[in-house]
Amino acid sequence: MAVTFGVWDQTFTAGGDLRSSQFALVTMSGTGIILPVASGQIHTGVLQNNPNSGQNAVVRLEGMSKVIGRSTIAVNSLLTTDHSGAVMGITPTSGQYVLAQAAEATASGKKSMALIRGVASRAQ
């Protein structure tokens, strides 16, 4: 039996040029949605489109989404981000923010599906 899950997308203003950042994890700043400035930074969601600065940025806050892998990631891994918005697997005790869980395996630079959990929490 097929099961359909809802998604929660929200529109924000792009705080910079995000035209090459579709499916990257993004964060909020005083200017709008931007790429993270540091690895492990708290993040808002996954960018679903490719806006230029000042345009509407559609961000997936919850549900299934494509993401871009920074490294090889196994199914069911907890995911955080690096400074480019690519996802990387983390250990449950790393203390970094977790926003997603890998729904399929991926390799560096490849797109894969992840379950976006809605609220970033620290891995403990």
DSSP 48: -
Query: Contact 56/13 with Cβ under 8 angstroms?
Result: yes
At 13, phi and psi to the nearest 5? -90, 135
pTM tops 0.95: no
Report the run of H or E that residue 79 belongs to, with start and end.
strand 78-81
Q: Are residues 100 and 72 in the same domain?
A: yes
One domain, residues 47 and 83: no
Looking at residue 107, its pLDDT comes to: 92
48 and 72, same domain (yes or no) = no
Query: Tens digits of per-residue pLDDT, 30-40?
Result: 999 999 988 76
Query: Would you say the C-alpha torsion 104, 105, 111, 114 has a positive or negative sign?
Result: positive
Tell me if 1 is assigned to some domain: no
The answer to the question of residue 2 being in a domain is: no
Based on the fold, state whether residues 84 and 118 are members of the same structural domain. yes
According to DSSP, residue 51 is labeled: P
> Cβ contacts of residue 39 below 8 Å, gap of 6+?
80, 81, 82, 83, 96
CA 49 to chain centre: 12
In a domain, 99, yes or no: yes
* 46 & 71 share domain: no
- Which of the residue ranges 1-5, 28-32, 48-52, 103-107 has the most confident prediction, judged by mean pLDDT? 48-52
> What is the residue type of 71?
S
- Of 26, 45, 60, which residue constitutes the final position of a domain? 60
15 vs 56: CA distance, rounded Å: 10
Within a domain: residue 100?
Answer: yes
Domain that includes residue 33, residue range: 9-60
Structural domain includes residue 3:
no
**Residues of the chain with pLDDT > 90: what percent?**
66
How many domains does the structure of the chain reveal?
2
